[in-house]
């Protein structure tokens, strides 16, 4: 059958009586006594253990011994709560407690930029001296004309000519990899691409996963050796959940090699900057394209199955996918394929 | 969801090159005629004669409820075609107001002619018109869904098909809507008539749902119609294209089909063109579509649709009247 139709997962009612391992009931007071049975409707119970899920507006606890943390607020005392001040959740997420501090960790959240993050973004708008970039954050980021590599010298001042030619560097829809340089008071990020590591992205595919699914690592640019004649593939794991997978290209600064020594430093920079804003892909072999698609599927499957994406998991997942592929797996139409690959990868990690 | 942005030129050319290879490489490693898995259930809404819920990975989620109402024929003797077409009312809404509210018409996936209320006096354009068109198209031998809505002389059922898009995206796939409507129609049951057929009096019905009559008999044909989007890139034809694939395509069609026998062969009941992207080339550089490619696209739909509609039907009947 060309289509796979899955029945929705049955609705699971939370079991009130079951104590999770490690779950701490907030109803317990200091002596370990269980709070009175009647003081809260029983359906409220389920969420109020550490690790349980609460929704916005749900009372987490009325016990004054707890301090409110992120994702909560104090409600005004009212007759409903019996004149007590209560801690109310402002997010949909899980309760976590650190000593006496209660906070809610959201189930799904937008990326909050931090200085130094490597992000992949897409140009939304071209303005006079800057670009607006979508980085999946609450505010779109800005990229100033002065914080990119301008052609003809890596660190020259921008001129009015550059302003007029702003679209030759980046125009709407272009993908780029950049670093968060500064943050404004309201959390809006300002990016920079003043390194040959950063800049326009080509030769590959773009995909998105949840921002929280990318583990922060030392380096977010991975280079992987692929099988089946795919050659080397670069993976830009943006901290914001935007991912770009492309054919490996040697950074232009290294391309010289022994015979390239004759090129002067300034000449090299000029060449680099001209090529950096090109919109033309290199020649990419079908083998590389197949492996890029496979890596994209692995990353998508990892994120979908709740496994954080990092270098190790991408490698293990890719290996697992290759093994499955040799056994004749049809990834595309098999809804369970991703899950099997992720399970195989996790098993590999446990084995070490 | 980030706002929809056009693909960058390198992305487009990468996709175009991958998809026009032989064999093509789709980004999700699907074969050209493979559909993405969907999550679907039906008959879950109380107070509805038929309902379905369908979720797709990219296009989001869609709920369809079908209600039937007994109505007196407007004219006693000659029921005109226009009168009869009003027996089915389709509305498509986006939850939360979204881009377009009720009645303004939701344009679906760039189907040309389904972009708004033009030239129709229903005032409800877009997807609703397109869905209704497929429904009314009928089948072999002059079969029409409207004949099944006749109760007795002077009385008919009026069907209200309400489609609600829960997660609005800029391009709700035609496949999402048509799958959901197909399942809902397939799960629609009408109360059994207990009064005689040929009497003008107000009809009476049995209140026993166990003997209710299906709108589409599960064993007879045609089955409810189904629309499949198909795009062409180079010489390759792709079914169930993703948003990126649509943006890369050179030509796109939405082919509406209905199953005509148990073997899985299908009748084409309608073909509409679908708006697609730049086709990998520059703006205005798009190639024309030749007859061979057109035939290939429609044939791909006809070949695969049997399996898809049958699969949907089986799922629907399995979930029907469950405890």
Render each residue's pLDDT in chain A as its tens digit; 352 residues. Answer: 567 777 777 766 554 444 444 444 454 444 444 444 444 444 444 445 666 788 898 888 888 888 888 889 888 777 766 777 888 889 888 888 888 888 888 888 888 899 999 999 999 999 988 999 999 898 999 999 888 887 765 566 777 888 888 888 898 889 999 999 999 998 899 999 888 788 899 889 999 998 888 988 888 999 999 888 888 999 999 999 999 999 988 765 544 444 444 445 555 555 555 677 888 888 889 999 999 999 999 999 999 888 889 999 999 999 998 888 877 666 766 667 888 888 889 998 888 7
Which fold does the domain A30-106 belong to in CATH?
A: OB fold (Dihydrolipoamide Acetyltransferase, E2P) (2.40.50)
pLDDT at position A271 is 58
Euclidean distance between CA atoms A155 and A148, whole angstroms: 9
Contact between B104 and B175 under an 8 Å Cβ cutoff? The reply is: no
Distances, alpha carbon A21 to alpha carbons A25, A45, A54, A218, in Å: 11, 16, 18, 33
Cα torsion at B40, B44, B50, B53 (round to 10°)? Answer: -30
Mean pLDDT of B260-269: 79
Q: What residues in B contact A297, CB-CB < 8 Å?
A: 28-29
Please indicate if any CB of chain A lies within 8 Å of the CB of B34: yes
Tell me which residue in B13, B27, B41 faces A296 most closely, judged by beta carbons.
Answer: B27
Please give the CATH architecture assigned to the domain spanning B16-319. Answer: 2-Layer Sandwich (3.30)
Contact between B309 and B270 under an 8 Å Cβ cutoff? The reply is: no
Residue B1 has pLDDT above 50, yes or no: no
Please indicate if any CB of chain A lies within 8 Å of the CB of B304: yes
With cut-offs at 50, 70 and 90, classify the pLDDT of residue B76: low
Tell if the CB–CB gap between A6 and B10 is shorter than 8 Å.
Answer: no
Contact between A36 and A49 under an 8 Å Cβ cutoff? The reply is: no
Tokens read off for A1: 């059958």
Judged by phi (left if over 0) then psi (alpha if -120 to 50, else beta), residue A153 lies in: left
- A&B contacts, CB < 8 Å: 130
pLDDT at position B240 is 87
Euclidean distance between CA atoms B254 and B264, whole angstroms: 19
Which segment of A263-272, B68-77, B160-169, B221-230 scores lowest on mean pLDDT? Answer: A263-272
Tell me which residue in B3, B14, B34 faces A205 most closely, judged by beta carbons.
Answer: B14
Q: What residues in B contact A335, CB-CB < 8 Å?
A: 37
Please indicate if any CB of chain B lies within 8 Å of the CB of A229: no
Tell me which residue in A5, A175, A289 faces B38 most closely, judged by beta carbons.
Answer: A5
Give the highest mean pLDDT range of A174-178, B69-73, B245-249. Answer: A174-178
pTM as predicted:
0.79
Residue B174 has pLDDT above 70, yes or no: yes
pLDDT at position A36 is 43
pLDDT at position A38 is 44
Which segment of A37-51, A107-121, B175-189, B288-302 scores lowest on mean pLDDT? Answer: A37-51
- Is the peptide bond prior to B222 cis by the omega test (within 30 degrees of 0)? yes
Nearest Cα residue in chain B from A321 = B29
Judged by phi (left if over 0) then psi (alpha if -120 to 50, else beta), residue A316 lies in: alpha
Give one DSSP letter per residue of A48-88, joined into a string.
GBTT-EE-TT-EEE--TTPEE-TTEEEPPP-GGGTT---EE
Euclidean distance between CA atoms A345 and A312, whole angstroms: 10
Q: If you average pLDDT over every residue of chain B, what do you get? A: 77
Tokens read off for B208: 């026993």
pLDDT at position A135 is 92
Residue B158 has pLDDT above 80, yes or no: yes
Residues 6+ apart with CB under 8 A from B247: B6, B7, B12, B15, B276, B277, B278
CATH 2.40.50.140 for domain A118-351, yes or no, is yes
Q: Chain B: nearest CA to A82, how far in angstroms?
A: 36
The residue to which tokens 């270098």 are assigned: A311
With cut-offs at 50, 70 and 90, classify the pLDDT of residue B112: very low
As beta bridge partners, residue B213 has B190
Q: What residues in A contact B17, CB-CB < 8 Å?
A: 281, 284, 289
pLDDT at position A268 is 54
B111: which DSSP letter?
B
Mean pLDDT of B209-214: 84
Q: pLDDT for A261-288, tens place per residue?
A: 444 555 555 555 567 788 888 888 999 9
Contact between A222 and A177 under an 8 Å Cβ cutoff? The reply is: no
Query: How many other CB atoms sit within 10 Å of the CB of residue B199?
Result: 12
When comparing pLDDT for B309 and A8, which is higher?
B309
Mean pLDDT of B284-301: 80
Mean pLDDT of B183-190: 88
């Amino acid at each position: 059958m060309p289509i796979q139709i899955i029945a929705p997962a049955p609705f699971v009612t939370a079991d009130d009586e079951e104590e999770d391992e490690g779950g701490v009931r907030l109803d317990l007071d200091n002596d370990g006594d269980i709070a009175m049975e009647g003081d809260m409707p029983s359906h409220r119970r389920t969420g109020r253990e550490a690790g349980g899920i609460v929704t916005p507006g749900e009372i987490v606890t009325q016990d004054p011994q707890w301090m409110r943390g992120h994702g909560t607020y104090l409600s005004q005392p009212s007759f409903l709560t019996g004149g007590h001040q209560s801690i109310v959740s402002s997010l949909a997420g899980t309760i976590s407690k650190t000593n006496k501090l209660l906070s809610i960790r959201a189930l799904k959240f937008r990326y909050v930029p931090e200085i130094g993050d490597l992000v992949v973004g897409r140009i939304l708008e071209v303005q006079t001296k800057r670009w607006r970039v979508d980085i999946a954050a609450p505010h779109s980021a800005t990229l100033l004309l002065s914080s990119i590599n301008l052609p003809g010298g890596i660190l020259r001042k921008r001129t009015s000519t550059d302003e007029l030619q702003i679209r030759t560097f980046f125009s709407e829809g272009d993908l780029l990899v950049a670093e968060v340089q500064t943050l404004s008071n309201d959390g809006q990020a300002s990016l920079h691409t003043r390194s040959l590591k950063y800049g326009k992205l080509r030769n590959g595919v773009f995909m998105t996963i949840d921002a929280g699914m990318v583990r922060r690592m030392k380096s977010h640019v991975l280079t992987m050796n692929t099988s089946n004649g795919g050659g080397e593939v670069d993976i830009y794991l943006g901290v914001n959940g935007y991912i770009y997978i492309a054919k490996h290209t040697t950074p232009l600064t290294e391309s010289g090699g022994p015979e390239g020594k004759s090129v002067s430093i300034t000449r090299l920079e000029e060449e680099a900057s001209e090529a950096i804003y090109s919109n033309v892909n290199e020649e990419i072999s079908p083998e590389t394209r197949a492996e890029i698609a496979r890596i994209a599927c692995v990353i998508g499957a990892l994120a979908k199955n709740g496994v954080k994406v990092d270098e190790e998991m991408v490698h293990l997942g890719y290996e697992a996918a290759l093994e499955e592929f040799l056994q004749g797996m049809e990834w595309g139409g098999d809804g369970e394929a991703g899950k099997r690959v992720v399970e195989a990868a996790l098993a590999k990690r446990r084995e070490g | 969801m980030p706002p929809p942005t056009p693909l960058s030129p390198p992305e487009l050319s990468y996709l175009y090159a991958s998809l026009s290879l032989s064999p093509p490489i789709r980004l999700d490693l699907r074969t050209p005629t493979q559909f993405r898995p969907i999550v679907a259930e039906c008959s879950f809404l109380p107070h509805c004669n038929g309902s379905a819920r369908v979720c797709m990975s990219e296009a989001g989620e869609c709920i369809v409820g079908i209600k039937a109402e007994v109505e007196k024929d407007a004219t006693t003797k000659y029921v005109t075609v226009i009168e009869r077409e009003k027996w089915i009312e389709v509305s498509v809404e986006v939850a939360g107001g979204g881009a377009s509210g009720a009645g303004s018409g939701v344009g679906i996936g760039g189907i040309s002619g389904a972009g708004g209320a033009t030239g129709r006096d229903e005032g409800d354009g877009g997807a609703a018109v397109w869905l209704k068109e497929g429904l009314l198209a009928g089948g072999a031998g002059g079969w029409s869904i409207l004949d099944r809505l006749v109760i007795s002389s002077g009385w008919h059922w009026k069907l209200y098909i309400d489609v609600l898009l829960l997660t609005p995206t800029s391009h709700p796939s035609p496949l999402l809507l048509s799958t959901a409507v197909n399942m809902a129609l397939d799960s629609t049951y009408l109360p059994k008539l207990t009064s005689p057929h040929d009497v003008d009096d107000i009809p009476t019905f049995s209140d026993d749902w166990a003997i209710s009559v299906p709108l589409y008999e599960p064993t007879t044909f045609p089955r409810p119609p189904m629309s499949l989007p198909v795009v062409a890139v180079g010489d390759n034809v792709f079914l169930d294209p993703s948003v990126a694939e649509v943006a890369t395509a050179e030509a796109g069609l939405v082919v509406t089909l209905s199953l005509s026998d148990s073997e899985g062969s299908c009748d084409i009941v309608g073909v509409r063109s679908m708006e697609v992207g730049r086709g990998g080339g520059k703006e205005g550089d798009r190639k024309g579509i030749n007859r061979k490619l057109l035939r290939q696209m429609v044939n791909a739909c006809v070949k695969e649709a049997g399996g898809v509609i049958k699969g949907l039907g089986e799922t629907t009947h399995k979930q029907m009247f469950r405890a």
